[in-house]
């Protein structure tokens, strides 16, 4: 019987490294801000900074394709429900797993992650993730954004040194020795780690570990940012949010009259508003016209989002946006199986690059993401905003865009041009 490689994916954050013995916690020691170029380091691909950015762009493009492909799969199974997940977290975890995958197992994962090996060599894919992780973890005085990986390895498993070295070098992954024969102890060890790295946002994610588990892989992203132009909590009022034609709920509706980049897509019947964070990230909110959510979702592709971004124009609007806190938990194994990734979860799995033998398979892949959107993060109650404007502004009323019905949101990092999170808010009051 094959041993079980239990794979656990989670959103929330810090950084890590892969070895059988405990590795000291990784501390980011890069100088400068995240919007600056990362320090040049020799790259096995071409050995220059330009090649690093090319590799990151190739990975970002594939990640975007994967993100919307996965969204469509989740959407088909969660009709009428909130959606929120980190496509980058999932793709990074499985890209790291491909260090040990071979033959059809490797090919299926690459295809699901939208990597075309006729365009990018496998080595370039890993280097792209390596540079992307480094860039994400560069310090930013305005944003908490960290990403990393960790391996929990059974004390009976003897991984190949090459797998451990590559995971550490390319994915900055920590490794810890675990005793999976004592499931309760192993679950506590992993859940404590996740809780610590997510600052308590995600707890008790790993449950019911099989005693045959050989390894648990964790990926996390933690993102916390303040709006570039905070909402005033003094203007937040209770209002109706229309879940559907028959159902409405009360929400805390934030309000701000300000210049934003907006776009009205008449063809897809939706409005797009870009709200920047302080630092190097933006949130894109998409409000379909009444009854047009399905139409917009059907067109949700990398090319569509790119077109929206190019069409954005600065305009003063009266913006209403609900404060909300939602989460999403997903069985990634089930989702990826429906996307053609089957071998890695079966006895046909070839993960011989991990141990040198075809004796491992993935038994479980879970993902959880959480998001809190409010006036100004934890400082909201202490903020009072006083704005002045020209008298002439009183001569016209700016258009109102009110997110009081189901809408979509994307959170992206501008430096690496990558989508960090995707969400659909159907009911802001549902956790």
Residue with tokens 């365009």: 119
Residues of the chain scoring pLDDT < 70: 1-50, 376-396
Report the C-alpha gap between 248 and 29 in whole angstroms: 49
Q: What are the structure tokens assigned to 416, written together?
A: 């690496």
Q: What is the pLDDT of residue 211?
A: 83
Report the C-alpha gap between 328 and 179 in whole angstroms: 29
Question: Mutual orientation of helices 103-112 and 87-97 as an angle, nearest 10°?
Answer: 160
Q: What is the pLDDT of residue 120?
A: 75
Q: Is 28 left (phi over 0), alpha (psi -120 to 50) or beta?
A: beta
Order of strands, sheet of 143-154, starting from the edge strand that comes earlier in the sequence: 173-178, 143-154, 213-225, 3-8, 360-373, 324-331
Residues in CB range of 279: below 8 A, 6 or more apart = 34, 35, 140, 141, 142, 143, 145, 225
Instruction: For 32-65, write each residue's pLDDT tens digit.
Output: 344 443 444 433 433 456 577 788 889 999 999 9
Domain borders along the chain are 3-225+326-371, 233-324+377-425
Q: What is the pLDDT of residue 47?
A: 45
Report the C-alpha gap between 54 and 242 in whole angstroms: 44
Q: What is the pLDDT of residue 421?
A: 92
DSSP structural state of residue 378: B
> CA-CA distances (angstroms) from residue 379 to 228, 283, 382?
13, 19, 6
CB count in 10 Å sphere of residue 90: 26
CB count in 10 Å sphere of residue 391: 6
Q: What is the pTM of this model?
A: 0.84
E strand or H helix that includes residue 149: strand 143-154
233-324+377-425: same fold as 3-225+326-371?
Answer: no
Q: Which homologous superfamily does the CATH classification assign to the domain defined by 3-225+326-371?
A: Antithrombin, subunit I, domain 2 (3.30.497.10)
Choose the CATH number for 233-324+377-425 among 3.40.50.1100, 2.30.39.10, 3.40.50.720, 2.40.50.140: 2.30.39.10
Instruction: For 344-391, write each residue's pLDDT tens digit.
Output: 988 899 999 998 988 888 888 888 888 888 876 322 222 212 222 223
Q: What are phi and psi of 194, to 5 degrees?
A: -65, -45
Q: What is the pLDDT of residue 320?
A: 97
Report the C-alpha gap between 269 and 286 in whole angstroms: 10
E strand or H helix that includes residue 167: helix 161-171
Q: What is the pLDDT of residue 42?
A: 39
């Amino acid at each position: 019987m094959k041993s079980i490689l239990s794979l656990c994916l989670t959103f929330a954050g810090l950084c890590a490294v892969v070895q059988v013995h405990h590795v000291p916690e990784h501390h980011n020691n890069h100088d400068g801000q995240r919007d600056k170029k990362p320090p040049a380091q020799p790259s096995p691909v071409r050995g220059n900074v330009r090649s690093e950015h090319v590799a990151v762009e190739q990975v970002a493009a594939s990640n975007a394709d994967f993100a919307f492909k996965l969204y469509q799969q989740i959407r088909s199974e969660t009709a009428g429900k909130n959606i929120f997940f980190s496509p980058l977290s999932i793709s990074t975890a499985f890209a790291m797993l491909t260090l040990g995958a071979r033959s059809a197992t490797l090919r299926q994962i690459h295809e699901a992650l939208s990597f075309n090996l006729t365009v990018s060599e496998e080595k370039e894919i890993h280097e792209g993730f390596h540079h992307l992780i480094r860039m994400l973890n560069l310090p930013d005085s305005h944003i908490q954004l960290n990403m990393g990986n960790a391996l929990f390895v059974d004390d009976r498993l003897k991984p190949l040194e090459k797998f451990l070295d590559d995971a550490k070098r390319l994915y900055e992954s920590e490794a810890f020795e675990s005793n999976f024969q004592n499931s309760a102890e192993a679950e506590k060890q992993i859940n404590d780690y996740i809780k610590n790295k997510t600052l308590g946002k995600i707890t008790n994610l790993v449950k019911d570990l099989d005693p045959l588990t050989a390894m648990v892989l964790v990926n996390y992203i933690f993102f916390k940012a303040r709006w570039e132009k905070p909402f005033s909590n003094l203007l937040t009022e209770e209002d109706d949010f229309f879940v559907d034609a028959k159902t409405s709920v009360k929400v805390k509706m934030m309000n701000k009259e300000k210049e934003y980049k907006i776009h009205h897509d008449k063809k897809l019947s939706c409005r797009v508003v870009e709200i920047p964070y302080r630092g190097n990230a933006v949130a894109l909110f998409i409000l379909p016209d009444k009854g047009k959510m399905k139409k917009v979702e059907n067109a949700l592709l990398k090319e569509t989002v790119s077109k929206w971004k190019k069409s954005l124009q600065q305009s003063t609007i009266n913006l209403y946006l609900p404060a909300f806190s939602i989460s999403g938990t997903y069985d990634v194994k089930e989702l990826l199986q429906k996307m053609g990734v089957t071998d890695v979860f079966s006895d046909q799995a070839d993960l011989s690059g991990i141990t040198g033998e075809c004796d491992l398979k993935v038994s479980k892949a879970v993902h959880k993401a959480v998001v809190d959107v409010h006036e100004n993060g934890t400082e909201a109650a202490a903020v009072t905003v006083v704005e002045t404007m020209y008298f002439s502004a009183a001569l016209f009323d700016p258009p109102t865009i009110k997110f009081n019905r189901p809408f979509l949101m994307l959170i992206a990092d501008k430096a690496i041009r990558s989508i960090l999170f995707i969400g659909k808010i159907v009911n802001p009051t549902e956790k």
